């Protein structure tokens, strides 16, 4: 029964994606944002999850702001989804994004020195815009990804994100082995780490305990890699991005370094609340 449900969900999403892809790029991005906001979000119960997360960490947030986020967070998610399926049209948009932030100099220094880099990011703006932009700058950038729980959707999703750039490493024994070889060779690795991680450390995020993976800091320490947070901030027109490369995280211990990553992401989210994926169960008690 579960497989049947997954198949139906995949057909529904594929239909929406196909509908959007028939449109010119700007129109498809806006349309998919609207479809996820108005159709997918209510059916999937996204507003309830967004409200629960916001009540947990920001209980004094005005209701007008909560209502805005219940609309704009799914809209950004929809835009991100169709961008990932737009291949070269998305890549060409992403590589025009300005790259700013003090961490960019550290990234270029690491490349010149042949030192590996761990680029930590999160479900913010469109996380793959920064990957596309840095690949275009000549960085040998791979990415670790987690297999989708829906196998039907996962098959075409992975094909789509692979068109943005390779290598891609699937989370698991084989993927981790490939990833380590990439790091040892002096490559750049992008990892999203803002999800609840079983077995992770209880660290602070928006003033509440959040179980957080330490893998990025552990890899940086083990392979003497630079740990640098990077995010793609969606611009006011809803189509373009600015790539923000935050300060390199000094090597110390894994928990201290990862807490610094959390703090940097939180600061950016507070400036752009609608661009973080408040739909995730980041705090499992919400």
Per-residue confidence (pLDDT) for residue 80, from 0 to 100: 97
Of 261, 280, 205, 274, the residue nearest 233 (C-alpha): 274
Neighbours of 13 (CB within 10 A): 18
Considering only CA atoms, give the Rg of the chain.
18
Per-residue confidence (pLDDT) for residue 285, from 0 to 100: 64
Torsion of CA 155, 161, 162, 163, to 10 degrees: 120
DSSP 236: T
**Are 278 and 69 spatial neighbours (Cβ–Cβ below 8 Å)?**
yes
Of 61, 2, 112, the residue nearest 278 (C-alpha): 61
- Going from the first residue of the chain to its last (286 residues), give the mean pLDDT of each consecutive group of 10, the final group possibly shorter: 77 87 97 96 96 98 98 98 95 96 96 96 96 94 81 78 83 86 93 92 97 96 98 98 98 98 98 97 81
The 3-class secondary structure across 118-183, one letter per residue, is EEEECCECCHHHHHHHHHHCCCCEEEEECCCCCHHHHHHHHHHHHCCCCCEEECCHHHHHHHHHHH
pTM above 0.85, yes or no: yes
Per-residue confidence (pLDDT) for residue 184, from 0 to 100: 92
Per-residue confidence (pLDDT) for residue 32, from 0 to 100: 96
DSSP 210: E
Cα–Cα distance measured from residue 198 to residue 124, given in angstroms and rounded to the nearest whole number: 21
Per-residue confidence (pLDDT) for residue 29, from 0 to 100: 98
Per-residue confidence (pLDDT) for residue 17, from 0 to 100: 92
Cα–Cα distance measured from residue 280 to residue 43, given in angstroms and rounded to the nearest whole number: 16
Of 214, 207, 216, the residue nearest 119 (C-alpha): 216
């Amino acid at each position: 029964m579960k497989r049947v449900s997954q198949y139906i969900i995949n057909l529904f999403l594929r239909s929406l994606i196909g509908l959007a892809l028939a449109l010119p790029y700007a129109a498809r991005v806006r349309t998919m944002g609207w479809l996820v906001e108005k159709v997918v979000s209510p059916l999937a119960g996204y507003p309830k999850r967004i409200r629960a997360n916001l009540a947990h960490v920001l209980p004094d947030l005005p209701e007008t702001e909560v209502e805005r986020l219940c609309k704009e967070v799914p809209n950004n998610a929809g835009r991100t989804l169709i961008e990932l399926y737009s291949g070269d049209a998305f890549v060409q948009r992403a590589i025009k994004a300005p790259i700013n932030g003090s961490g960019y100099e550290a990234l270029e220094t690491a490349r010149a020195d042949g030192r590996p880099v761990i680029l930590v990011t999160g479900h913010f703006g469109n996380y793959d815009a920064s990957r596309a932009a840095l690949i275009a700058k000549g960085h040998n950038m791979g990415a670790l990804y987690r297999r989708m729980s829906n196998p039907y959707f996962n098959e075409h999703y992975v094909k789509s994100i692979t068109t943005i750039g390779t290598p891609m490493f699937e989370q698991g024994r084989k993927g981790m082995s490939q990833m380590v070889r990439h790091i040892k060779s002096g490559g750049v690795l992008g990892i999203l780490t803002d999800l609840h991680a079983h077995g992770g450390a209880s660290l602070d995020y928006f003033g509440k305990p959040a179980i957080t993976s330490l893998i990025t800091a552990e890899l940086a320490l083990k392979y003497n890699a630079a740990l640098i947070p990077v995010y793609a901030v969606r611009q006011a027109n809803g189509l373009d991005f600015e790539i923000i490369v935050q300060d390199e995280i000094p090597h110390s211990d894994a928990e201290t370094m990862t807490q610094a990553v959390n703090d940097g992401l939180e600061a950016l989210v507070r400036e752009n609340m609608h661009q973080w994926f408040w739909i995730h169960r980041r705090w499992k008690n919400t």
